[in-house]
Amino acid sequence: MYGSDRAGDDAERTAFRKTEKKYKLYYENSKSTKKKKQPKQVDLSEVLDFKSISESFNQNGELPPGVVHVNCGFDRPIFGLENRPGFYFIPGALTLDEQCTWIRESLTNFPQPPNRTNHNVIYGPISNLFVAAKEGKVFVEEERSDNGLDSEPSASVSNGDSHRWKFYEEDIAQSRGKTCKTVPASVLLRKLRWSTLGLQFDWSNRNYAVSLPHNKIPNALCWLAKRMAEPAMPIGEEFRPEAAIVNYFGSGDALGGHLDDMEADWSKPIVSMSFGCKAIFLLGGKSRQDEPLAMFLRSGDVVLMAGEARECFH
């Protein structure tokens, strides 16, 4: 889903793709190699800003055309879109303390095995990646042999793969780097793109692999998702999350337009919580040919997609 710039010619012509390119971060070409590249200016005048909309609504009760206030007894303002039934936007839904808690969990605990990440296919399961990056350690690949490298237990962690990838202190890794593949833990952390919680998703076959080892979604996260999902749930029903994906974005990263269509039960909403830097979210229609709406996503915002909105590209 990352790197969608390589989409085919047909995808390039869709309205959704054109809007993706419109808001993508590009950099100015610089003749000087020493000069830091500057991002190109992007016209953001048409991007919906629900933070400003909420502030205006609280002051004078006014809303821009096409935006509606959802009155469902929730403890904070919720907004929807007239032409996207089932879409809910809750600006500033999470407190600063809650945001810090879940950012920390996303970096330290959510990528922990048996949860899978984008690194699994190359390196196998990696334990304590954030701690290793913080300590400046290096991941070293060692082939299994009777004359394996000697190491102190505290200096390395095996991932149990056919090759052993272990974390070493930088000075030890440098002495072995001539004969072994190495990669700094900090690089692996920067290249972390997703981790999956609860039931594990098999990206190759595009389905949930029930047979893969997994833990239940943490209770605190389940409780939070249930609370946030209430506005999109039928009266008397409770949201029960079984799987989640954590997407990690660096500056300039983009997630290609897609549908979340692998769940067996589409009657329950998608609950999306945002943390970290501000980004642009695109909400399209049931076809890629439908021009999507662009809106800012800020840290602490929550988006719900239920009913017809579940069938919208985003």
Nearest to 292 by CA among 268, 256, 267: 256
Q: Residue 193: which residues within 8 A CB-CB, separation 6 or more?
A: 2, 117, 118, 247, 248, 253
Q: Is 69 annotated as a binding residue?
A: no
β-strands 182-184, 138-143: how paired?
antiparallel
Q: Is residue 140 within 8 Å of residue 181, measured between CB atoms? A: yes
Q: Is 258 annotated as a binding residue?
A: yes
Q: Residue 306: which residues within 8 A CB-CB, separation 6 or more?
A: 86, 87, 88, 232, 233, 268, 269, 270
Where would I find the H helices in the chain? Answer: 9-12, 15-23, 50-60, 96-108, 120-123, 129-134, 170-176, 185-190, 219-229
β-strands 194-198, 163-168: how paired?
unpaired
C-alpha distance from residue 280 to each of 23, 49, 162, 177 (Å) = 8, 10, 41, 41
Q: Is 260 annotated as a binding residue?
A: yes
- Residues annotated within the binding site are 258, 260, 314
- Residues annotated within the binding site for Fe cation are 258, 260, 314
